[in-house]
Amino acid sequence: MAKLQKGTFTGQAGGHGGDIKVALTTDGEHITDVKIVEQHETPHVGDNAFKWIPERIVHYQSLAVDAVSGASFTSRGIINASKQALQAAGGDLADWSQPVPKPPVVAKDQTVDVAIAGGGLTGLTMAAFAIKNGLKPLIVEKNDQVGGSFRYAAGAFATVGSKKVADNQIDDLINWVKELNTHGAKKEMDYDFLRYLEEHTGETFDELVDIAGSKPQIAQEAPYKFAVFGGGAFIVNALEKYIKDHGGLILPDTVITRINVDESGKHATGFAARNAAGCFTVTAKAVVIATGGESYGHKEDLVKTTPSLEKVHVFNEANPGNTGDGYGLLKEAGASFYEGNIYKNAFLDFGWPLRISYANVPDYSKAIVVNDQAKRFTNEAPFFALNLTTALYYEGSPRYYVIYDAAKMDQTFRKKLDAQKEDPKVVVHAGSVKELAEKLDLDPAALEQTVAGYNEACAKGEDEFGKDAAHLESLDGADGYYGLYTMPGSWGTIGGVKINRDMLVEQTDGSFFDNLYALGEMSTNELFSDFYIAGFSLANYSTEARLVAERLAAN
């Protein structure tokens, strides 16, 4: 082994939320310890990276360890910071980059009550509720950690009728969704199905709070109430522990390759799976496909439904497992699908170095948003924040900018912008509209015309895109302007396979499988129009899972 200086050395590198600092200790010949001494990552999301990456570096005496999937930015931050620390200890990276073997996985045939494909929000809640109802579940998850897209979620739960948070808002909520859909929705949804699920969400919420052993709080009162009892990653970890503690099986790093159906063509016997150790079969009384949507790497499919997306860069925040694998498996098994999935809108995403996410986005409702032609195209203070992302999808511009009046914007946020290096893909500051346009590579005359037109609308209190007078604040530029690069974000997809009220999969002839279920983002067409609504996934997908588990136990 190559020589190192003995002692503890620090290194620092960018993670997801800022720099991660590590302290790497050597005895002169080996790496004996790696500790995280500073980090600003989203709570719980990087937990497995903080645990596994240092352990693996010390175990394998190598910095060529794999990132933890679903926490890749955090993983890379730890690895890069460790590399820096190792170099500070006099190490040559080439000597410390030996390939690392993959952790062992098991490939043996299994028989369980409920075979679950995918260990995201839906798969985990399905397994937990199966256990609560006396059934034995097995989850097969293609990533090395469970959680799927839900690991990144805020944990918002649109709850109705929960005893623990005492609320009852079903009519308000359904009416609000109907009102939302009058603001530019192009796609139909099934309000009765939504009502049916929402009516059961309170009980699901209370049961999940018990499983997680946490304290619920109402996090938002308007326009509809949602409660939180932990961030997505916290709930994921709690569910994983509950499942393992109660004899449920979770097989990570394993993919489903086929749904097995018997000669009747109506009954699933289980599925075929594959991992590094080989191929095997899972046999079960019920099969649940919970492999999520198809937002990752499937833009060509989404463009068919929304052609304007062709040129649009979409910040995809969903888990890399969100690939639509389950669609292919279900198609092969003879399932019937809705035409065309669409992106599930997220809040706006800004240039990466700004580290602004949906959770801490500055108020853009009094600014203007322009496309690559320097034109406004929508009301920037829409009915609901997520309508704006959808407007960006439909507009189809390859780049967008939010333009603020420097003197009128939030001054704390302004300081944050001033700390950035100017970059048209992040933020620029200018003394005049003309200068701003030049820095953003927009047509100066067009931007001047847009700003002048907007200021006129502010003076009249009347806007061509319907922005209300309270948000019409002129851009005078007394202290200049800021232009921020922004693009739509996506949390996944809406669409998928057809199911009935029992969540059984419909076949191409209109009949239904008798034990093959598709839950969660796999089958969301009925539950959403063009607008995704925060808190509805956790509420409705986990409720689907609970209802299926209870029905399976009753039969």
Ligand X SMILES: Cc1cc2nc3c(=O)[nH]c(=O)nc-3n(C[C@H](O)[C@H](O)[C@H](O)COP(=O)(O)OP(=O)(O)OC[C@H]3O[C@@H](n4cnc5c(N)ncnc54)[C@H](O)[C@@H]3O)c2cc1C
Binding site for ligand X (CB under 6 A): 117-123, 140-143, 148-150, 152-156, 255-256, 290-292, 317-319, 321-322, 325-326, 491-492, 520-522, 534-538, 541
Query: Structure tokens of 64?
Result: 């060529």
For residue 426, the minimal CB distance to ligand X (Å) is 21
Q: Least distance in Å: CB of 350 to ligand X?
A: 14
Nearer of residues 12 and 214 to ligand X, judged by Cβ: 214
Burial of 483 (0-12, 13-18, 19+ CB in 10 A): buried
Closest contact distance (angstroms) between CB of 494 and ligand X is: 10
For ligand X, the closer CB: 144 or 463: 144
Residue 26 or 357 having the CB closest to ligand X:
357
Q: Which is nearer to ligand X, 358 or 454 (CB)?
A: 358
Minimal distance in Å, beta carbon 231 to ligand X? 8
> Do β-strands 400-405 and 31-38 pair in parallel, antiparallel, or remain unpaired?
unpaired
Residue closer to ligand X (CB basis): 16 or 376: 16
Long-range pairs for 57-63: beta carbons < 8 A, 24 or more residues apart: 57/31, 57/82, 58/31, 58/32, 58/33, 58/34, 60/98, 60/100, 60/101, 61/1, 61/30, 61/31, 61/96, 61/98, 62/96, 62/97, 62/98, 62/99, 62/100, 63/93, 63/96, 63/97
Category of 90 on φ-ψ map: left (φ > 0), alpha (ψ -120 to 50) or beta: left
CB 301 → ligand X: shortest distance, Å? 15
**Which C-beta is closer to ligand X: that of 281 or that of 455?**
281
> Which residue is at the shortest CB distance from ligand X?
120
List the alpha helices (DSSP H) in 382-515. 385-395, 411-418, 433-440, 444-460
Please, what is the minimum distance in Å from the beta carbon of residue 403 to ligand X? 26
d(C-alpha 359, C-alpha 383), whole Å: 18
Burial 452-462 (b: 16+ CB within 10 A, else e): eebbebbeeee
Q: Which is nearer to ligand X, 141 or 405 (CB)?
A: 141
Report the nearest approach of ligand X to the CB of residue 146 (Å): 6
CA-wise closest residue to 200 among 550, 478, 554: 550
